[in-house]
Structure 1
Amino acid sequence: MGYLEFSYLFQGLLWTVVLTAIGFSGGIVFGAIVALMRVSKSPWLRIPAIGWIGLFQGTPLLMQLFVAYFGLPLLGFDLPAWAAVAIALTAHASAFLGEIWRGAIQAVPKGQSEAAHALGLHTRSRMIDVIAPQAFKLSLPATVGFLVQLLKGTSLAAIVGFIELARAGTIVSNQIYRPILVFGVVGAMYFAMCWPLSFYGRRLERRMSAGSAR
């Protein structure tokens, strides 16, 4: 495999990183909104959040990519492939991160919220200053784990013709007829991205388990 083929794979790698960054960043923003709606006492906020989470957790990411790529143009949104994929990944991430953070918020001891209420803090201040920092710490291992899954999930973007790392590997393999070598390199690239994140997530989980055992 020569320089040109490796350069093509590297371009696919960059697009994989970009899609992951966009999907995860968007998922953080909208996931926070979903989580807050999910723990709201108002059914007008809670029920739509439950439906959103159920929709995206109960359907395959592949189907969500198809709907974003082929469905949005039917509604008048003529988007490039990368934008459609980014929207699908953002919606997917918002549902999973929203549920992760919902669990973390509800895992914070109620005594913390009651103490903040006794001090006269308003609901917004209790959430931002008391509950959210503790929930963030509790959710960090699961959030990192989902980031790894999202990064690997970008490979499904190839199904709508978008050239990310997996698709680039297929194209190069078809050109030089050395699939073992090409996909060995592709696998090594995925491993180089995913393993440090997985290691960090496991380390966080062990650290938190050790801290809660004291």
Structure 2
Amino acid sequence: MDFSWLPAYGGMFFEAFFLTLKLALMAIATGTVLGVAAGILLTSRFRLIRGIVRVYVELFRGSPLLVQLFMVYFGLPHVGVNISLNMTTVLVFTLYGGAYIAEITRSGIEAIPKGQWEAAESLGLNYFQTMGHVIFRQTLKIAFPSLVGFYIGMIKDSSLASVIGYSELVKKSQTIMNMTARPFETYIVVGLCYFIICFPLSKLVSYIEKRSEAK
């Protein structure tokens, strides 16, 4: 193996690394906000609201992320809706992530014993006060490992954005590979970049789970 070419192309890897990190963080942030809201609505007493949100969740959980990227970036212009590359990636990853996070949130809420709701009601708390001060805090604790696990998956799935031209790690690595004729070494560097992002998150989950078990 020969990595003598790496210093000359380190800047390109550095730029692509932060573009990947930027996409992942934006998608995680917006997807979490959307997913938490949708997850709460999935537990609503109103059947119509639950039905509408359920359609969204099943649509984006039941179709491949790659197809969603193609549909938005290449499909929408055919119906007169033009959307930029950056907006496409953030929008699709937000909707995709939100659908999965909605299910994680819903399962966390439904895991809370009904007695918690009844106790809050007996104290005179309304629905929003109960959700904010009693239920949601416990839901976060239950759902946190699953959420972080999904975040790690989203970071790795960001590589799919390369197929529509987004210059993240995989897309940039293809350019570097063509210039250096070193595909194996190039993908080793790409793998290490993803490892640098994902490994601390996986260790964080393990640490929190061990602390929870100790308690």
TM over 0.5: same fold? yes
Hey, which bits of structure 1, 4+ residues long, moved more than 6 A? none
**For the residues of structure 1 that align with 2:89 and 2:82, how far apart are their CA atoms?**
13
Give the structure 2 partner of residue 127 of structure 1.
131
Q: Secondary structure at the match of 2:45?
A: coil
Whether 1:151 aligns to 2:155 is: yes
Task: Read off the aligned partner of 1:136 and give its amino acid letter.
Answer: L
- Could you tell me the TM-score, scaled by structure 2's length? 0.93
What secondary structure is seen at the aligned counterpart in 2 of 1:41? coil
1:56-75 equivalences under 5 Å are 56-75=60-79
3-state DSSP of counterpart to 1:120: coil
1:182/1:131 CA distance change after superposition, 3 Å:
same
Superposed counterparts of 1:57-206, under 5 Å? 57-206=61-210
Q: Given residue 49 of structure 1, which amino acid in structure 2 is its aligned partner?
A: V
CA distance in 1, matches of 2:214, 2:114: 22
**How many residues are aligned here?**
211
Gaps of 5+ in 1: none
Unaligned runs of 5+ in 2: none
Q: Contact between 1:53 and 1:96, CA under 8 Å: does it hold in 2?
A: yes
Give SS of 1:10's match.
helix
Equivalent residue of 1:79, what SS? coil
* Aligned partner letter, 1:52: Y
Residue equivalent to 1:28 = 32
RMSD between aligned residues = 1.3
